[in-house]
Amino acid sequence: MSHKIKSKEEIKEIVKNLKQQGKKIVTTNGTFDILHTAHLRLLQKAKSLGDILIVLINSDNSVKKFKGEKRPILPEKERAEHLAHLFSTDYITIFDEDNPLSLLKDLKPNFHVKGGSFIPERIKEEKKLLESWSGKLKTFE
């Protein structure tokens, strides 16, 4: 399953090729520290919006900045591997920034999905960015 885990450079090239094939790209992001039922449901709903689901996960450094020194519970490579074993996920990439804006700008997904725990101010930025190329932000509770 590690074939699903890609560097940012690899995922950019993959998305470019998939778009040339007319595929709809869906992204979601988060820590995914301890995978639970809400995560699984979110990933299934996200996948239903398009052809390819790419999960953007926060690096260990990014999680520590956001959630404190005791987090993440699981290191980034384990979190990525857990996600890679799910049928709903096509690719996983790890990002080190505080938010996924730079990666979203590079990938230009058709949809970006947020689950129940998001920061309203942050999703405003993401929504505005997505709309700049006619992408859509979708939230699920």
Q: Is pTM, for the whole model, over 0.85?
A: yes
Which residues, 6 or more positions from 67, have their beta carbon under 8 angstroms from its beta carbon? 31
Spatial separation of the C-alpha atoms in residues 85 and 1, rounded to whole Å:
6
Q: What share of the chain is helix, strand, coil (3-state, %, to 5)?
A: 45, 20, 35
Tell me the pLDDT tens digit for each residue of 97-124: 989 999 999 999 999 999 876 677 778 8
CA nearest neighbour of 119 among 100, 135, 96: 100
Per-residue pLDDT reduced to its tens digit, 22-41: 999 999 999 999 889 999 99
Residue 58 has pLDDT above 80, yes or no: yes
* Pairwise CA distance, residues 49 & 63, whole Å: 27
- Give pLDDT, residue 141: 66
Q: Which residue has the tokens 């450079």?
A: 9
CB atoms within 10 A of CB 131: 11
